[in-house]
Amino acid sequence: MLSDTTRQKIGALIGKYPQRRSALIPSLQLAQSEAGYLAPDVICEIAEIFDLSPNEVYEVVSFYTMLYRKPVGKYVIQVCTNISCLLCKAEEILAHLEKRLGIKPGETTADGKFTLLEVECLASCDTAPVAQINEDYYENLTVQRIDEILESLK
Ligand code: FES
């Protein structure tokens, strides 16, 4: 369930846009910041606020990789495997992460520290291969660099 505070913030967001629906994605991000992901009941609440069907909101949530439909780890590692990154050995980076963390894309480590995701273009093709960990970009990745990054994440 959304808190009163989040409901008030969503109301304020809606007021900033000429069309109510324009506030949907930032509102989903706000809702996600409360519980770490968007549970089905929260999606229904948001749908009600926006006068949309739950399915319409679910379509948005399932499209954007920054919106999570299940709990995620402390660090969400999104590895781009689109064409530029693929040509620069992104598959090697992803395979290394799978082996090192012992999980496949879409999974979270047992200690809840890392979630691994394979994503489409992160819009930094000139610095491929690229991964995003939470809000930060990591570019020109190598297996050695990804190991250093993992060590730095406490
Ligand atoms: S293809 Fe990876 S950032 Fe664009």
Residue 130 near ligand 1, beta carbon < 6 Å? yes
Give the pLDDT of residue 79: 98
Give the pLDDT of residue 38: 97
* Domain 75-152 indexed as CATH 3.40.30.10: yes
Which of 85, 94, 137 for a ligand 1 pocket mutation test, highest count of atoms within 8 Å of Cβ?
85
pLDDT higher than 90, residue 154: no
pLDDT higher than 90, residue 118: yes
Please give the single-letter amino acid code of residue 25: I
CA 124 to centroid of ligand 1, rounded, Å: 5
Q: What is the rounded average pLDDT for all residues in the chain? A: 96
Name residues whose C-beta falls within 8 Å of residue 27's C-beta, 6 or more positions apart in sequence: 10, 13, 14, 46, 49, 50
**For the whole model, what pTM was predicted?**
0.88
Residue 121 near ligand 1, beta carbon < 6 Å? yes
Closest approach atom of ligand 1 to CA 81: 2
Which segments of the chain does DSSP mark as H helices, in order?
4-15, 24-35, 40-50, 54-63, 83-87, 90-101, 143-152
Q: What is the mean pLDDT of residues 23-52?
A: 96
* Domain 4-63 indexed as CATH 1.10.10.1590: yes
Indicate where the chain has its CATH 3.40.30.10 domain(s). Answer: 75-152
Indicate where the chain has its CATH 1.10.10.1590 domain(s). Answer: 4-63
Give the pLDDT of residue 52: 97
> Is residue 67 a contact partner of residue 60, using CB atoms and an 8 Å limit?
yes
pLDDT tens digits for range 52-64: 999 999 999 999 9
pLDDT tens digits for range 43-98: 999 999 999 999 999 999 999 999 999 999 999 999 999 999 999 999 999 999 99
CA 95 to centroid of ligand 1, rounded, Å: 17
Give the pLDDT of residue 149: 97
Neighbours of 141 (CB within 10 A): 23
Residue 122 near ligand 1, beta carbon < 6 Å? yes
71: left (phi over 0), alpha (psi -120 to 50) or beta: beta
Of the pLDDT bands very low, low, confident and very high (cuts 50, 70, 90), residue 6 is very high
